[in-house]
Structure 1
Amino acid sequence: MAQKKHRKGSSVWRWLRGILFVLLVAVSLVLIFNGPITNWLVKTYRPTITRTDVKKNEKTKGNYDFRSVNSLDLKTAAQARANHKIRAIGLVAIPSIKLNLQIVNGVSDADLALATGTLKPDQVMGQGNYAIAGHRMDQKDAMFSPLFWKSRVGQKIYLTDLTHVYEYKTTERKFIKATRVDVVNDVPGQKLVTLITCDATGANRLMVRGSLVRSYAWKDAPEAALKGFSYKQKVETIAS
């Protein structure tokens, strides 16, 4: 009888050790591939954006407390992909570095997991200082990472609400303190776009700024801009 109990106890212990081993392997794999999985989740988010959606989404309210924005992790990215619907109000593209992302109102963690966000309310493309922020990822072509690795003065930056296209030329690229919130303010007499992302340490910020060159109706926009907006993303501009 004692021998049977001993065998049963040993079997249960082996079963528990097996379960523990599987759990440890699973946790280890998640830790090892945390970054690549997060990069994949945000990089492969390329839903269709339509002019009708943009018109409707322009009325949505955003969270502009950018001091409360957290670093993007696997949990936030996964939850955003599973449960969150981006309310795009337009697109930002830098064709020369293959950057093309949706823009939303505000900078909530869920929104910034999948798109870039405006840094102050009631911004209008082609007017004032249109300031947007996005995450820098480990992968050099995900989210605002191309901005960090490949942006240069002189490159063209395009914004669109799918009705008009606004062409800017990069005039400034520099690292600033995270406390420099003044860079989102309008500059009298200037029409600017200001793109913000983290530096390599996360303690400071990279600011890329451009000045408005011209604007176009969508149908008259240069081919380079339209290709830039279509990069890995389906864009529908048929008016409702």
Structure 2
Amino acid sequence: MGVNMNLKSWLKRAGWLLLVLVSLALIFNQQIKYYLVGSYRPTITKTAIAQNQQKKVDQKEFDFSQTKDLDFQAVAKARANQQAVNIIGEISIPAIKMTIPIATGVSNTTLALAAGTMRPDQQMGQGNYALAGHNMAHGSKILFSPLYYHAKVGQKVYLTDMKNVYTYRIYERKFILATRVDVVNDTPEKILTLITCDATGANRLMVRAKYEGKVAFDQAPKHVQQALSSKYTNK
């Protein structure tokens, strides 16, 4: 009798504890999600990037139509599978304090933790280098959220593969229909195209920048090197 009473009491306490934990998870869902994304700190090195650039990537990794909203489950799954994110560089816009990894493709795992390349043939400093990234909520400082809320014409954008730093300058910022997939097609002009969702999630913000040149990483301005090295281990 005493054993049964103790078991019932324990089960009751365990049930209440589980309820409290679930409630806290629901209440702090956004904060936990932001932490999981913001605390992602891959080691970005010249050697690792060179190895990742040689990896074969399935064409389906570039199917943007399969990209889903970034909810808590997607982020948790991405962190659990973060080794699948194929890091090939970084993008930084110092004026808006945005620096995030660049990875191959636009799978849900990749876009949960990085900006993703939208075509398999892209090269920094050549043609139309197109990247997609998630826009979180207002005030968020992760992924492409700063781009959505703070990017302006005239700001400089830096890409790096840890060998060179490629400089672009923003010349266009406009909202486009989600169906405008043509904007990521390659072009004769050397440009950068950055795509993220608008506030409704139904359409897109497109930010474009013109290529201005490249320098070796260790020859880039100190503030640029610092921006590209502040969040990750770069060697």
TM-score by length of 2: 0.90
Q: Distance in 2 between matches of 1:75 and 1:209?
A: 31
- Percent identical among aligned pairs is 50
| Correspondence for 1:196 | 195
Deviation at 1:8, TM superposition (A): 8.1
Structure 2 stretches lacking a partner, 5+ long: none
Q: Distance in 1 between matches of 2:157 and 2:9?
A: 61
| Correspondence for 1:59 | 54
Deviation at 1:13, TM superposition (A): 5.4
Q: Distance in 2 between matches of 1:141 and 1:84?
A: 20
Tell me if structure 2 keeps the 8 A contact 1:178–1:205: yes
SS at match of 1:232: coil
| Correspondence for 2:126 | 127
Q: Distance in 2 between matches of 1:12 and 1:232?
A: 49
* Aligned CA-pair RMSD: 1.9
Range 124-133 or range 209-218, more displaced: 209-218
Report the residue type matching 1:48 in the other structure: T
Are residue 155 (structure 1) and residue 155 (structure 2) matched?
yes
| Corresponding residue to 1:35 among 30, 36, 44 | 30
| Correspondence for 1:136 | 135
Q: Distance in 2 between matches of 1:11 and 1:91?
A: 57
Q: Distance in 1 between matches of 2:193 and 2:230?
A: 21
TM-score by length of 1: 0.89
Deviation at 1:71, TM superposition (A): 1.2
The number of equivalent residue pairs is 230
Q: Distance in 2 between matches of 1:205 and 1:215?
A: 29
Over residues 48-72 of structure 1, what are the superposed CA-to-partner deviations in whole Å (9 max), with x where a residue is unaligned? Answer: 2110111111122151001101111
Tell me if structure 1 keeps the 8 A contact 2:81–2:109: no
Return closer, same or farther for 1:13/1:219 CA change in 2, 3 Å cut-off: closer
Are residue 73 (structure 1) and residue 109 (structure 2) matched?
no
SS at match of 1:113: helix
Deviation at 1:81, TM superposition (A): 2.0
Deviation at 1:172, TM superposition (A): 0.7
Tell me if structure 1 keeps the 8 A contact 2:218–2:225: no
Deviation at 1:152, TM superposition (A): 0.7
Deviation at 1:82, TM superposition (A): 2.8
| Correspondence for 2:100 | 101
| Correspondence for 1:220 | 219
Tell me if structure 2 keeps the 8 A contact 1:175–1:199: yes
SS at match of 1:131: strand
Q: Distance in 1 between matches of 2:159 and 2:203?
A: 25
SS at match of 1:89: strand
